[in-house]
């Protein structure tokens, strides 16, 4: 995913950073290699939605049509309070 929580901030992956998943609040680590786009990945196996992993260049470009504040925000069903998805459902 592109954003993770670090304190109260949503930040993009940078080398050696650790953050929290904005969906499941589990630890995520920054993956900043030379071959793939920089992103966050869960530290351990999780039942969190991971449809965004790996995220394609196309998908990221598509999401960049929207302001960063709109991207990858967990949405909740107002009636059931169930988490539905993290942003957009295309991967
Ligand atoms: Zn997660």
Whole-number Å distance, alpha carbon 42 to ligand 1 midpoint, is: 7
Cis-peptide into 54, omega within 30 deg = yes
Residues with CB under 5 A from ligand 1 (ion): 21, 23-24, 48
Three-point CA angle 64, 60, 2, nearest 5°: 95
Task: Give the pLDDT confidence of 12-38 residue by residue, as tens digits.
Answer: 999 999 999 988 889 999 999 888 889
Interval between CA 7 and ligand 1 midpoint (Å) = 16
Residues 43-56 have pLDDT tens digits of 987 777 655 555 56
Cα(37) to centroid of ligand 1, in Å?
A: 19
The closest alpha carbon to 30, from 40, 45, 20, belongs to: 40
Q: What is the pTM of this model?
A: 0.56
Number of H helices, E strands in the chain: 1, 5
């Amino acid at each position: 995913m592109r954003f993770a929580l670090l304190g109260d901030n949503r930040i993009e992956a940078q080398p050696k950073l650790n953050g929290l998943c904005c969906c499941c609040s589990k630890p995520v680590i920054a993956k900043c290699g030379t071959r793939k786009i920089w992103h966050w990945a869960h530290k351990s196996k999780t039942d969190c939605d991971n449809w965004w992993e790996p995220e394609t260049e196309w998908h990221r470009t598509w999401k960049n049509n929207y302001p960063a504040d709109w991207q990858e925000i967990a949405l909740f069903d107002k009636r059931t309070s169930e988490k539905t998805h993290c942003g957009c459902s295309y991967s």
